[in-house]
Structure 1
Amino acid sequence: MGSTTNAGVYPRGIKLGVDVGTVRVGVAVSDPDGILATPLKTIGRDTKKNSDIGVLVKHAAELQAVQVFVGLPRTMKGEERGSAQMAGAYAELLAEALLRAGLDVLVNLVDERLSTVTAHRNLHEAGMSSKNHRKVVDQVAAAGILQHAIDMQKARGTDVGRRVQAQSDVPSSAPTPRDASGSEPDSSTRGLQL
Structure 2
Amino acid sequence: MPDLPRGARLGVDVGKARIGLAGSDPDGLVATPVETVARVLDVPVTDDGRPAVTADVVRIAHEVSERFAAVVYVGLPRHLSGHEGAATADARTFAGRLAREIAPVPVHLVDERMTTVTAHAQLRAAGKKTARHRPVIDQAAAVIILQHALDVERTSADRAGERVEA
Give the one of 11, 15, 18 matched to 1:24: 18
**Secondary structure of 2:137's aligned partner:** helix
Return the offset for 1:158: 1.6
**Superposition pairs for residues 22-101 of structure 1, below 5 Å?**
22-49=16-43, 50-99=54-103
- Letter aligned with residue 122 of structure 2: N
Following the alignment from structure 1 to structure 2, what is the Cα–Cα distance between the partners of residues 138 and 57? 18
C-alpha deviation, 1:156, in angstroms: 1.2
Number of residue pairs the alignment of both structures matches: 156
Q: Contact 1:12–1:33 (CA<8 Å) still a contact in 2?
A: yes
The aligned amino acid for 1:16 is L
Report what 2:120 is aligned to: 120
Q: Which amino acid aligns with 2:88?
A: A
* Contact 1:27–1:138, Cα closer than 8 Å, also in 2: yes
Identify which range, 9-18 or 106-115, moves more after superposition: 9-18
Displacement after TM superposition at 1:48 (Å): 2.4
SS of the equivalent of 1:19 reads strand
How big is each residue's C-alpha offset from its partner over 1:2-21, in whole Å with a ceiling of 9 and x where there is no partner? Answer: xxxxx875443100000000
- Note the C-alpha offset of 1:163: 0.2
CA distance in 2, matches of 1:126, 1:39: 15
Q: Is the alpha carbon distance of 1:8 and 1:165 closer, same or farther for their aligned partners in structure 2, counting shifts above 3 Å? A: farther
Match of 2:106 in 1: 106
TM-score when normalising by structure 2: 0.90
SS at match of 2:165: coil
| Alpha-carbon distance in 2 for matches of 1:17, 1:152 | 14
Question: Matches of 2:2 and 2:123 in 1, distance apart?
Answer: 36
Q: CA RMSD in A?
A: 1.3
Q: Is the 8 A contact 1:8 1:159 kept in 2?
A: no
Q: Deviations over 1:72-106 (max 9, x none)?
A: 0011111111101100000000001113xxxx311
Cα deviation code 1:158-183 (max 9, x no counterpart): 222000011xxxxxxxxxxxxxxxxx
1:101-123 deviation digits (Å, cap 9, x = unpaired): xxx31100000000010000000
CA contact (8 A) 1:9 1:159 kept: no
The offset of 1:47, in angstroms, is 1.7
- Counterparts of 1:128-167 in structure 2 under 5 Å? 128-166=128-166
Consecutive unaligned residues of structure 1, counting only runs of 5 or more, are 1-6, 167-194
Gaps of 5+ in 2: 44-53
State how far apart, in whole Å, the 1-side matches of 2:23 and 2:14 are: 15
